[in-house]
């Protein structure tokens, strides 16, 4: 199915879902708006906030579930941004839900806000459990907010997120007891189906599929080699059974869990830097933090659980015969694979490869060899070093215009550090590059 049709179907599914939900909510709450006191509208809107929050939480599971039919349409990058945005909306809704309902019932029961809150927790069935779930959700969202997240280790952020499943279980009973499902059997069926759909997708794509692929291909490491000057990166070569059935597109990435002491508790994403044409494929990780600094100690022979391939930074995005690749630092990895795959296809290719200095430059010889074999041009750019035949400085709008005068006739594939990507996105837009010709990959989920 083509991506446009897939996208339309996903939108139809979403809109239909919200229409059904609003219908059920309205049929159970419309008369509250006729109430003489403010309590009616407060209760109705509070319930709507709860219903929408619960639905958006289920959508969150699909957004982070690496669900193929969603991921191949939007790309994981866009999905993780949507996931973040959705998190903010959920935060607003779950804050509003108890405030509005407590105030509404406080008016009806002629008591104070605090009195009503205590009454809820003490006397209302399922509410204490839901409150604990609510606090967990609140804590996770607040912890995830970017500024806070930046001060946390990725693994802490990841494990905190796992508590969300507990929170969802804790609030589920509350939804059945007090949501529209309490009065409406049809809605009850709908609600169970929605849960089964979201969790089914999550469990299938995120957990079962990688396990099935692992049992079919028995992926294992064949070689581990230092890459670049002073081994600033590590290349890991992986092979498996029936590799021909394991379709990887150039530009894609996978999430790797190496079954070795000290590694198996973590799964990290890396792009494929060499396609499995020769019976093994390769990933190349720059030594950046505690995990990537240890990768050189991976032992050949150990098995690897692989989730993927994922990503839409692929040839399918190409609209023109001419292509410009822009890589910054280790952002060269998916681009290296794309050059290998596109080289024989007769396209007009240019690579602009930007690094601080030659000490950070990986794949120098391989890229030279590919460029000779397929006749494409490479321009190296070093921000902190003067090198004969290379550009010095940061790749900016003026340099882009000078080095690639026919830029608007090209597809542009960009992968590099976030500040470079942000600056170049602006520069490319200013230079008139049509949006549909611009493709990028961010090394952040």
Ligand X SMILES: Cc1cc2nc3c(=O)[nH]c(=O)nc-3n(C[C@H](O)[C@H](O)[C@H](O)COP(=O)(O)OP(=O)(O)OC[C@H]3O[C@@H](n4cnc5c(N)ncnc54)[C@H](O)[C@@H]3O)c2cc1C
Reduced to 3 states, what is the DSSP secondary structure of residue 44? helix
291 near ligand X (CB under 6 A): yes
Residue 359 beta carbon to ligand X: minimum distance, rounded to whole angstroms:
16
263 near ligand X (CB under 6 A): no
160 near ligand X (CB under 6 A): no
Residue 428 beta carbon to ligand X: minimum distance, rounded to whole angstroms:
21
CA distance 43 to 98: 10
CA angle centred on 138, ends 136 and 144, rounded to 5°? 100
Count residues near ligand X (CB under 6 A).
22
- Which region among 3-11, 17-25, 165-173, 284-292 touches ligand X (by CB under 6 A)? 284-292
DSSP string covering 132-155: HHHHHHHHHHHHHSHHHHHTS-HH
- Which region among 43-51, 166-174, 183-191, 261-269 touches ligand X (by CB under 6 A)? 261-269
Residue 285 beta carbon to ligand X: minimum distance, rounded to whole angstroms:
4
225 near ligand X (CB under 6 A): no
CA distance 439 to 335: 12
The nearer residue to ligand X, 178 or 237, going by C-beta atoms, is 237
Residue 148 beta carbon to ligand X: minimum distance, rounded to whole angstroms:
13
* Kind plus residue range of the DSSP H or E element containing 366: helix 364-374
Burial 139-148 (b: 16+ CB within 10 A, else e): ebbebbeeee
Find tokens 């009454």 and name the residue. Answer: 119
In the shown chain, the binding pattern of residues 228 to 247 toward ligand X, with x for contact by CB under 6 A and - for none, equals --------------------
The nearer residue to ligand X, 161 or 216, going by C-beta atoms, is 161
Sort 96 into a burial class: Cβ within 10 Å, 0-12 / 13-18 / 19+: middle
- Using CA atoms, how far residue 33 sits from 18, 40, 43, 102, 253, in Å, is 20, 6, 9, 17, 51
**Among the listed residues 97, 213, 217, 286, the single contact to ligand X using CB under 6 A:** 286
Q: Which two tokens stand for residue 302?
A: 């150990």
The nearer residue to ligand X, 174 or 282, going by C-beta atoms, is 282
154 near ligand X (CB under 6 A): yes
Q: Of 326-385, which residues contact ligand X (CB under 6 A)?
A: 330, 333
271 near ligand X (CB under 6 A): yes
Q: How many CB atoms lie within 10 A of CB 58?
A: 19
- Which region among 61-69, 170-178, 265-273, 400-408 touches ligand X (by CB under 6 A)? 265-273
In the shown chain, the binding pattern of residues 425 to 444 toward ligand X, with x for contact by CB under 6 A and - for none, equals ------------------xx
- Which region among 3-11, 176-184, 285-293, 318-326 touches ligand X (by CB under 6 A)? 285-293
Residue 79 beta carbon to ligand X: minimum distance, rounded to whole angstroms:
11
The nearer residue to ligand X, 138 or 232, going by C-beta atoms, is 232
Residue 304 beta carbon to ligand X: minimum distance, rounded to whole angstroms:
14
**Among the listed residues 292, 320, 380, 397, the single contact to ligand X using CB under 6 A:** 292
- Nearest CA to 389 out of 378, 404, 399 is that of 378
Residue 66, C-beta contacts closer than 8 angstroms, at least 6 positions apart: 76, 205, 206, 255, 307, 308, 310
For ligand X, which residue has the nearest CB?
Answer: 289
285 near ligand X (CB under 6 A): yes
Residue 250, C-beta contacts closer than 8 angstroms, at least 6 positions apart: 272, 275, 314, 315, 334, 337, 338, 340, 341, 342
**Among the listed residues 237, 256, 270, 353, the single contact to ligand X using CB under 6 A:** 270
Residue 266 beta carbon to ligand X: minimum distance, rounded to whole angstroms:
6
Sort 242 into a burial class: Cβ within 10 Å, 0-12 / 13-18 / 19+: exposed
Upstream peptide bond of 145 is cis (omega within 30 degrees of 0) = no
The nearer residue to ligand X, 183 or 290, going by C-beta atoms, is 290
266 near ligand X (CB under 6 A): yes
Find tokens 């542009």 and name the residue. Answer: 412
Residues lying near ligand X in the complex (CB under 6 A) are found at 154, 253, 266-271, 283-286, 288-292, 330, 333, 443-445
């Amino acid at each position: 199915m083509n991506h446009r049709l897939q996208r339309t179907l996903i939108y139809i599914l979403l809109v239909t879902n919200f229409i059904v939900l609003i219908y059920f909510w309205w049929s159970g709450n419309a008369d509250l708006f006729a109430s003489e006191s403010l309590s009616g509208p407060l209760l109705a809107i509070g319930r709507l906030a709860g219903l929408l929050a619960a639905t958006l939480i289920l959508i969150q599971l699909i957004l982070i579930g690496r669900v193929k039919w969603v991921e191949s349409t939007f790309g994981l990058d866009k999905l993780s941004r949507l996931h973040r945005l959705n998190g903010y909306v959920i935060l607003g809704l779950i804050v509003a839900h108890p405030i509005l309902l407590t105030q509404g019932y406080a008016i009806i029961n002629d008591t104070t806000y605090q009195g009503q809150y205590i009454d809820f927790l003490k006397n209302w069935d399922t509410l204490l459990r839901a409150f604990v779930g609510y606090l967990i959700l609140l804590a996770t969202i607040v912890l995830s907010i970017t500024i806070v997240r930046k001060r946390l280790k990725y693994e802490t952020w990841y494990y905190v997120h796992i508590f969300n499943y507990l929170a969802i279980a804790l609030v589920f009973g509350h939804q059945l007891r007090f949501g529209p499902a309490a009065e409406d059997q049809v809605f009850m069926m709908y609600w169970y189906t929605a849960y089964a759909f979201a969790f089914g997708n999550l469990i299938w794509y995120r957990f079962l599929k990688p396990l099935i692929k692992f049992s079919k291909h028995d992926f294992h490491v064949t070689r581990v080699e230092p890459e670049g000057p002073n081994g600033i990166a590590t290349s890991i070569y992986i092979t498996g059974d029936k590799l021909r059935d394991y379709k990887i597109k150039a530009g894609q990435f996978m999430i790797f869990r190496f079954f070795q002491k000290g590694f198996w508790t973590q799964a990290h994403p890396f792009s494929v830097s060499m396609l499995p044409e020769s019976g093994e494929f390769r990933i190349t990780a720059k030594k950046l933090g505690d995990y990537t600094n240890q990768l050189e100690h991976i032992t050949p022979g150990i098995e690897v659980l692989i989730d993927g391939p994922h990503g839409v930074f692929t040839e399918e995005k190409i609209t023109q015969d001419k292509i410009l690749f822009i890589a910054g630092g280790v952002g060269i990895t998916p681009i290296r694979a794309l050059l290998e795959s596109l080289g024989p296809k007769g396209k007009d290719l240019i690579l602009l490869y930007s690094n601080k200095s030659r000490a950070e430059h990986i794949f120098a010889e391989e890229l030279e060899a590919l460029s000779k074999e397929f006749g494409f041009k490479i321009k190296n750019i070093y921000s902190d070093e003067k090198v004969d035949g290379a550009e010095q400085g940061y790749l900016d709008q003026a340099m882009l215009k000078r080095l690639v005068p026919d830029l608007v006739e090209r597809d542009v594939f960009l992968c590099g550090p976030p500040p470079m990507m942000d600056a170049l996105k602006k520069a490319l837009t200013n230079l008139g590059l049509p949006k549909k010709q611009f493709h990028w990959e961010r090394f952040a989920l």
